[in-house]
Amino acid sequence: MKVVYVTGCLGFIGSYITRTCLEKGWHVRGIDKMTYASNPNLLDEFNHYPNFVFENKDINDIEFLYECDYIINTAAETHVGNSIVKSEDFLHSNVNGVHNLLELIRNYRAESNKLPILLHFSTDEVYGDITEGEHIETDILKPSNPYSATKAAADQLIIAWARTYKLPYVILRPTNNYGIGQYTEKLIPKSIKYLGLGKPIPLHNEGNPIRNWLHAQDTADAVITIIEKPYHVRNEIYNICGGFEQSNLTTVEKIIELYHPEDETLKEQFPHYPQRRIFEYLDLEYSRPGIDVRYALNDDKLRKLGWKPKKIFNEELPAIVDYYKNNFIW
């Protein structure tokens, strides 16, 4: 039976991983410092599992590791806009926090003398944007904003500690995650929230940036695929890609159509009825420094392990819109 730490267990990706590990019967020690983006209501669900233990703690403040097989690190500050305004918080969590985990592993002592593997969540943004083609795991890192720079720095720390101290690791670089339970600062839940408040949805660069969408459950399944390999996957980097890309404007247009189906109904019944144009729901004057055009990854390396995404964006989106339409505040 596996014993794993999941840092950021009450966050979006971390909660999907925690749930999936618990359902497999693994022992999970969840760590979360309960930031604004954490969902404390998840504890009601997770505490029903006898194989779950929770610590309310910043990863910088962890001083001791219990014996375990993996440390799955999803704890991070992740909102690009916030990193542009105040980068210090991102350095604290995304760089210093990872450094503390590495030092804990380096000084790890257990009866088995087997070091736990750090399975660290990075991001597709460490490569920088790309107008054509896809990034592979060996491409140079060219982050374009403070958030992605801190994630790239953490990746480099991990690789350096592995070489110097022989620490085992796996780095995962996913594309944009989506699903129910994401905090409302991210594009999909934020758009639904703004529609509910009757406010125009802010889209930087007029909604032209292109994103590749990956469901959080598919991300969690990728973690399981790696851990369950009969041989220990270690000292590897894997891209994770949902295989579905579109502009932010197209994504938001789909959300508006699902949120306001009456617009389409009226249009069908009364062709001359004055309709609200899609752009009346948008704020296209919004701008952000360091505009990124497109992120795209090649994940053939991960798929060779037997993983592939199962969730289809256009099939999942209606339920997500419905959820946030009724529950946009936890």
* Kind plus residue range of the DSSP H or E element containing 247: strand 245-247
> How far lies 152's CA from each of 37, 128, 241, 276, 299, in Å?
22, 10, 18, 43, 18
| Catalytic, out of 77, 124, 129, 253 | 124
| Catalytic, out of 58, 69, 125, 155 | 125
Instruction: Provide CB contacts within 8 A for 148, sequence distance 6+.
Output: 80, 123, 125, 126, 128
| Catalytic, out of 70, 147, 238, 259 | 147
Instruction: Provide CB contacts within 8 A for 157, sequence distance 6+.
Output: 95, 98, 99, 102
DSSP state of 304: T
Query: Which residues in 10-114 belong to E strands, given as ranges?
Result: 27-32, 52-56, 70-73
Determine the Cα–Cα distance for residues 293 and 144; give it in Å rounded to an integer. 11
Determine the Cα–Cα distance for residues 78 and 217; give it in Å rounded to an integer. 18
Q: 57: buried, middle or exposed (CB in 10 Å: 19+, 13-18, 0-12)? A: middle
Catalytic annotation present for 124: yes
> How far lies 229's CA from each of 173, 270, 304, 306, in Å?
19, 58, 12, 10
Q: What's the number of CA atoms in the CB half-sphere (13 Å) around residue 212?
A: 25
| Active site (catalytic) residues | 124-125, 147
